[in-house]
Amino acid sequence: MNDNPTPVTDKRASRLPDIRQIDAGAIAGWLRAGWRDFRRGGLASLFYGACFATGGWLMHLVFSKAYALFAGLTTGFLLIGPFLALGLYDLSRQIERGETARLAPTLAAWRPNLANLGLFAAVLAVVLLVWARASIIVFALFFTGGLPTFADVVRTVLTFEQADFALVYFAVGGFFAIFVFAISVIAVPLMLDRQTDAISAAIASLIACGRNPGPMLLWALCIVLLVGIGFATLFVGLIVTMPLIGHATWHAYRAVVANDRDSP
């Protein structure tokens, strides 16, 4: 008889979670809960909002002469935002546990699942770089006399001087945004909360979108609207809108992903 006990392997990290079906009305609840977390997070939440705003100002300062690249990197907020909001998810988790919201622990929230979060961040970074390159190519195709300024782009879009440019640019950008949203809408909170591997988290996110196409599409539009408000205010609005999105995303994750104790 073998006296050595058979090791028990915890497969929770690689098991796909159960995904709930939700209705579109749940989104208002996520936003209300996100606003409550934002208020309770206080300076810690504002810190992350200020980081987003500062990033926007720095990109504007560095790339203001190359608007095509600046536009691609700025809209890239929508692509890498799920990873950058990791600290906000951790703040919401602290509040959910009844703890005092503290900034310091959130700065190292990635450590317990470093390999998978790092892999996912690398994927998002590659997508951002590809999109930035695609943005420059689209500008170059339609503005043959040289890359345009911001005023040139606004004029051509508002006057329909190059309606095909706007159509192509937003179609290409929309493809990248939909792809990233589909694989990340609940992926990063899931990896943070349950130490899930990156592939399982991305698949779970795809399943969530597949089971709730209408609510997830509406949630994506809400995110675009809130980020757009931040851009329209010269990035100042991001100080509030980005923490709101981050905290609300945590509650979206909680609503969509069933607890382990609820699973059969």
The answer to whether residue 67 sits within a structural domain is yes
The answer to whether residue 15 sits within a structural domain is no
Share of the chain above pLDDT 90, in %: 50
Distance of CA 131 to the CA centre of its chain: 15
Compute the mean pLDDT over every residue in the chain, rounded to the nearest whole number: 83
Structural domain total, the chain: 1
The answer to whether residue 112 sits within a structural domain is no
The answer to whether residue 264 sits within a structural domain is no
DSSP string, 8-52: PP--GGGSPPPB----TTHHHHHHHHHHHHHHHHTHHHHHHHHHH
121 or 89: which carries more pLDDT confidence? 89
DSSP string, 138-192: HHHHH-TTS---HHHHHHHHHTTTTHHHHHHHHHHHHHHHHHHHHHHTTHHHHHH
The answer to whether residue 115 sits within a structural domain is no
The answer to whether residue 176 sits within a structural domain is yes
Range(s) of the domain holding residue 204: 23-102+126-257
The answer to whether residue 1 sits within a structural domain is no
Q: Give the span between the Cα atoms of 92 and 248, in whole angstroms.
A: 9
Mean pLDDT throughout 158-186?
82
Among 3-7, 25-29, 147-151, 236-240, the minimum mean pLDDT is found in 3-7
Confidence of residue 136 (pLDDT cuts 50, 70, 90): confident
